[in-house]
Structure 1
Amino acid sequence: MTPMGSPFGSMVDLARTRAAEGAEELLYTFLEDGERPGDALTYGEVDRMARAVAAALQRWRLEGERALLLCPPGPDFIAAFFGCLYAGVVAVPAYPPHPARPQRAFPRLQAIAEDATPSVVLSSRALLRAAATIVRGVPGLGKSRWLAMEDVEAGAAENWREPDVTPETLAFLQYTSGSTADPKGVMVRHGNLLSNLASMEAVQEPEAPRVGVSWLPVYHDMGLIEGVLSPLYGRYTAYLMAPTAFMQRPRRWLEAITRYRGTNSGAPNFAWDLCSRRIPRAQREGLDLRSWRTAYNGSEPIRADTLQRFAAAFRDQGFAWRAVFPVYGLAEATLVVTSDRQSDPPVLRQVDPDALGRDRWIERAATELSQPRVSCGRPLPGVTVLIVDPDTRTVAGSDEIGEIWVSGPSVAAGYWNRPEDSEVAFGAYLADTGAGPYLRTGDLGIMRDGRLYVTGRRKDLIIIRGSKYYPQDLELTVEDAHAAVRRGCVAAFAIETPSGEAVVVVAEIEHQRCGSSRPPVATPDIAPAVRDAVARQHGIRLHALALLAPGAVPKTTSGKLRRQATRMAYLAGELVPQAALAGLTSAPHAS
């Protein structure tokens, strides 16, 4: 494959070129606790660290093998990831076990270890000391070597040999955020990365100075590619912090943008909502967001009300509506599929929800019953997006909702060690013309005026008496129904009952009404308010409503809602309301 629009032959070529152009230029600064500047790396230092780690891997003759990366965010991860690239080793980023609660990570790590069969684990000395405990919980790592990044000698860089890396060479496996038992490793090649980075670069303002700020997990595609690799490609400095620093105190994200005049920074939708809720007006004083030009929102459904609420909350701090930058993408396409150009303002359309239930897109004037939908922009250069009827595999009509199919040089090679799954997802062809292959994303949407609007996920679609409902629409209604419901912590799904499919909603209640130090405030009006709102706006009678304590609804390590996991936990009886909430939980209705 030829990387679309990129002058580089591999990621190694890119990193080596940048080091030659400006070895002393600052590339990454890591913020300790999300605030104080800590370790800083120049282009030259990244190159030297990568060569040293690569030399160690080459000494073990691991070219083409897999390396599991269990490094905390910081210089160790950078050294491990680029070291793999420089050695021709396939990197497998994974969330490292928390020292105090390592067992929580074991099921997912075991699934990844069994699938990827890594020959080596790249980690830190701190985690290496716990290796025996980890191997007991993750037996799939029993035969893997372990190497702590602190034990790699700097002088080893002189022993590095440039590997035979081409655009077709696998760079890393990005394991999806699916169920714990069945994560799939997306095979991302050097050419896929370079194509996506070049296309992302093409939508930026030319010659405009940039500064990146990111707290996103580097073990996931958005944090790794947008937060770490884009600054390398675009040649600008990035300030990075651990995800926990943001989650503990969301203001740190905006403080970093203020302090370092960040221009490029973003996060999934839940983080925007978290900032609006957790940073009160008094704490917004002192923030200056005028430099923020590319505020991207992606990786999960984008809500118009979230964007509008954030823009209104931080207007006095200089945040501009035109900076909102919705994007659509997925790991199977490396990262970004569609986005607007930096100079384009965000586009919202009001649509008829009843028409959406019939797989039709009908725009209408804004009313209480219309639903705003956010444009995710236009396909990136070199990317083709089709809207396809998933049953007939023909292109859908101009006003029909269909499955989003994608083709282009950023589309990955498939799933590691899963030829059947790869054929289904990456080998789709149109039934009438034979055009293809395309990536079947599993997402539903429509193209209007050249822009993509994502309406939902096909497997999450709820069908009641022949009518279709998108779970995120029901979840938004529930969140708006009562102030006690936590935003971004509601899951709606269908279950089978003797009378057919029925809808269940699981919702967390805010801390002030459900705290661990004292019993929650008795608010018996929550369940009736939720049921009435859902019935009024969607014509649905909820089968059951479970009100839970904060943190009970399953999410991925990147903070995304796991509806199918929530559904399985509910059916297994694992989502038990806190004692003080049990009386507020609405039992199943007879269907």
Structure 2
Amino acid sequence: MLNSVDVRTTETRTVPTMWNLLETYVATKADERAFIFLGPDNVEQEVLTYGALHRLAVAYGKQLRLATQPGDRAILMFPTGLSFIVSFLACHFAGVVPVPMVPLKGQRLRDTVLAIAENCAATVVMTTSEQSEFLKSQLSVLPTYADAGFIGVNVDLECPPVTSNDTPHPAQLSELAFIQYTSGSTSVPKGVMVSHANLAANLEMMTIAYENDQYSSYVGWAPLYHDMGLIANVLEPFYLGTLCVLMAPNLFAHRPWLWLKAISDYQAHVSGGPNYAYDLCIERAEEILEMGFDLSSWRVAFNSAEPVRAETLRRFTAAFMPLGFRPQTFYPCFGMAEATLLITGGTRAQVPLIENLSRTGLANGMAIEANDPKDTIEVVGCGQVLQQEDIRIVDPHSTIEKPDGEIGEIWVAGPHIPFGYWNNPVSSKETYQATIAGSIGPRFLRTGDLGFMQAGELYVTGRHKDLIIVRGHNVFPQDLEFIAERAAPGLKRNSGAAFAIEDPSDGQQTLCLVQEVMLSQRYTIDVDDTIKAIRQAIMKETDITVHKIILVQPSSIPKTSSGKIRRAETKKRYIDGTLLVVQAQSSAATRQKATA
């Protein structure tokens, strides 16, 4: 058992493993509903009580034992649904390490899936019965999977009662609870080794930060192979012993009002997603308001995984206050798979902190107040340091700690920080064994994200690897992308990539921006006028000239399985001339190779 201190009560309480929790729930509330999965139109498609979840997890856990040894890995490849949760807990029963993985459909993400599968070297693959044969054929190209077992999981399985002989694996807190592969936005996905102790510590941190209790019901739509979907939307409500309602990501993407409908129908307390999720709802606000939802139960609307935009917070609050949404419900926070999940967060009664800072100052590494409206940029605070945690802002090159108000790399230490990446000792040492210059203190996780601290609040400014340097000034690509996608009609949101290309002859940087157009506009958009509008908007707000602006077809820009822009891969495709470009003449063919 893991002992942790609850800062609200200063009492020490014992935090069990996920299987220990399930056994407790079976003994105290076996017939209560634990998980609900919603199908089209939010009709309840799958339901699991704690008792049914336990019986299914034991049944499939016993199947796992026939094909594995404790410590073996099992790939979990499911569309969003309750079979994933059954499989995750079945792995814990058998002492097998679950490896959540994005579902493979045709050639989509095939290279990523194969790279992850090869790295984790799983003994067994758990999936739906319908997908089993397809996955066998796809993974058979890897020698490791020639003899792998495949288990089809069905939540409607009629399984026998659990007997006294069905003894779970006696997990130690140092053992792995799962391996979470990173999104791969700046590199090949790497498997974060999350122990039972890491997981328990982060779930307790989340409980305290969100002020959760056993009644804090959840609604979630993020994919379950992603750290936000798994930990924030499934394991945290399971940790609390409260109801969790899930829906498919594609259902949300096409009909975002169903997310708010689920919150209203189940009077959920906690639900959230990346910034773009709130933008999608804003775009359909007029329709949503007519539906008359009740959002007054919503206490924590976490906003994370990509830059949090002040404009989005204001517009969403203004749009949905008539439905009971409150400004303080918004909960900007910062987290990542390498830290299990949550790193910083605020308090539930606090409205988001928004600072008006000098864009020029930020470009020079300093958070200073803006004196010129043309030089102003809004930066949203992502919360404070959480219990038992240590956060420092460090120069990524010299490893010297920076004072408040100066931008550096965000470093984190604490009980929730895993030991490293699976089967990757070089990256593990680089990322998880960092020390501050001149310090004999703890070893830190290098997040790779840039930010600064101000009065105890963390402000995140961007990824270190994505940072662009133009004429000696730092440029954050997400700022240019945000301006570009709003500069003219017909441009797709969250679908732009800014990057720089260096001329090897003179070292000069060419600043490039690739932007997708909407599907409905790909034949009619005025390319020349749109490019002109983007260039002028960026110049007006940042005094930066973008040398090359390319409009491309929908779905041309590569993204991770969780929807993050892969800027390095976009840059590669630009250089290779393989982007699908929208031609200047709308009547002409719509595809050509991009050239530098």
TM-score range, shorter chain: over 0.9
TM-score where L is the length of structure 2: 0.93
Residue 387 (str. 1) matches residue 424 (str. 2): no
Structure 1 CA distance, aligned partners of 2:432 and 2:285? 45
2:8 maps to none
Displacement, 1:490? 1.4
1:467 maps to 473
RMSD: 2.4
Q: Are the equivalent residues in 2 in contact too, given 1:18–1:232 (CA < 8 A)?
A: no
Residue 572 (str. 1) matches residue 576 (str. 2): yes
CA gap 1:366/1:270 in 2 versus in 1, 3 angstroms: farther
2:289 maps to 284
Q: Give SS of 1:423's match.
A: helix
Q: Give SS of 2:412's match.
A: strand
Q: Which residue identity lines up with residue 281 of structure 1 in the other structure?
A: E
Structure 2 CA distance, aligned partners of 1:355 and 1:78? 47
2:71 maps to 64
CA gap 1:3/1:447 in 2 versus in 1, 3 angstroms: farther
CA gap 1:371/1:170 in 2 versus in 1, 3 angstroms: same
2:496 maps to 490
Q: Which residue identity lines up with residue 260 of structure 1 in the other structure?
A: Y
Displacement, 1:494? 1.0
Of 551, 555, 568, the residue aligned with 2:555 is 551
CA gap 1:65/1:216 in 2 versus in 1, 3 angstroms: same
Displacement, 1:391? 1.7
Question: Segments of 4+ in structure 1 off by > 4 A?
Answer: 136-140, 579-590
Of 195, 198, 222, the residue aligned with 2:201 is 195
Deviations 1:16-41 (A, max 9, x none): 22222211111111101251012111
1:358 maps to 364
Residue 182 (str. 1) matches residue 188 (str. 2): yes
Of 512, 518, 529, the residue aligned with 1:510 is 518
Q: Which residue identity lines up with residue 284 of structure 1 in the other structure?
A: L
2:279 maps to 273
Deviations 1:357-408 (A, max 9, x none): 1111102368343111011001221111111111221210222111100000
2:301 maps to 295
Residue 252 (str. 1) matches residue 258 (str. 2): yes
| Residues paired across the two proteins, number | 582
1:531 maps to 535
1:133 maps to 137
Residue 448 (str. 1) matches residue 460 (str. 2): no
Residue 216 (str. 1) matches residue 222 (str. 2): yes
Residue 77 (str. 1) matches residue 79 (str. 2): no
Structure 2 CA distance, aligned partners of 1:55 and 1:208? 30
Q: Are the equivalent residues in 2 in contact too, given 1:55–1:156 (CA < 8 A)?
A: no
1:122 maps to 126
CA gap 1:589/1:572 in 2 versus in 1, 3 angstroms: closer
Q: Give SS of 1:460's match.
A: coil
Q: Are the equivalent residues in 2 in contact too, given 1:205–1:343 (CA < 8 A)?
A: no
2:160 maps to 155
Structure 2 CA distance, aligned partners of 1:589 and 1:333? 40
Structure 2 CA distance, aligned partners of 1:73 and 1:581? 42
2:234 maps to 228
TM-score where L is the length of structure 1: 0.93
Structure 2 CA distance, aligned partners of 1:380 and 1:406? 11
1:423 maps to 429
Structure 2 CA distance, aligned partners of 1:75 and 1:206? 23
**Structure-to-structure mapping, 1:38-117, within 5 angstroms:** 38-98=45-105, 102-117=106-121
Structure 2 CA distance, aligned partners of 1:489 and 1:327? 22
Where does structure 2 lack aligned partners over 5 or more consecutive residues? 6-12
Q: Which residue identity lines up with residue 74 of structure 1 in the other structure?
A: G
Deviations 1:191-235 (A, max 9, x none): 111101111111233658322100110001100011111111112
Displacement, 1:253? 0.7
Q: Which moved more, 1:205-214 or 1:117-126?
A: 205-214
Q: Are the equivalent residues in 1 in contact too, given 2:358–2:370 (CA < 8 A)?
A: yes
Of 363, 375, 380, the residue aligned with 1:369 is 375
Q: Are the equivalent residues in 1 in contact too, given 2:4–2:15 (CA < 8 A)?
A: no
Structure 1 CA distance, aligned partners of 2:180 and 2:87? 15
Q: Which residue identity lines up with residue 385 of structure 1 in the other structure?
A: I
Q: Are the equivalent residues in 2 in contact too, given 1:545–1:586 (CA < 8 A)?
A: no
Displacement, 1:521? 3.7
Structure 1 CA distance, aligned partners of 2:3 and 2:429? 23
Q: Which residue identity lines up with residue 362 of structure 2 in the other structure?
A: L
**Structure-to-structure mapping, 1:475-486, within 5 angstroms:** 475-486=481-492
Q: Give SS of 1:126's match.
A: coil
Q: Give SS of 1:456's match.
A: strand
Structure 1 CA distance, aligned partners of 2:188 and 2:490? 34
Q: Give SS of 1:481's match.
A: coil
Q: Are the equivalent residues in 2 in contact too, given 1:90–1:170 (CA < 8 A)?
A: yes
Structure 1 CA distance, aligned partners of 2:185 and 2:255? 28
CA gap 1:267/1:365 in 2 versus in 1, 3 angstroms: farther
Q: Give SS of 1:421's match.
A: helix
Q: Which residue identity lines up with residue 116 of structure 1 in the other structure?
A: C
Q: Give SS of 2:465's match.
A: helix
Q: Which residue identity lines up with residue 494 of structure 2 in the other structure?
A: G
Deviations 1:403-446 (A, max 9, x none): 10000000012000111110110001111122220000011111
Deviations 1:4-58 (A, max 9, x none): 3461242221222222221111111110125101211111222222111211112
Displacement, 1:589? 12
Q: Give SS of 1:114's match.
A: helix
Q: Give SS of 2:131's match.
A: helix
Q: Which moved more, 1:579-588 or 1:466-475?
A: 579-588
Q: Which moved more, 1:51-60 or 1:149-158?
A: 149-158
Where does structure 1 lack aligned partners over 5 or more consecutive residues? none
2:17 maps to 10
Q: Which residue identity lines up with residue 294 of structure 1 in the other structure?
A: V
Q: Which residue identity lines up with residue 511 of structure 1 in the other structure?
A: L
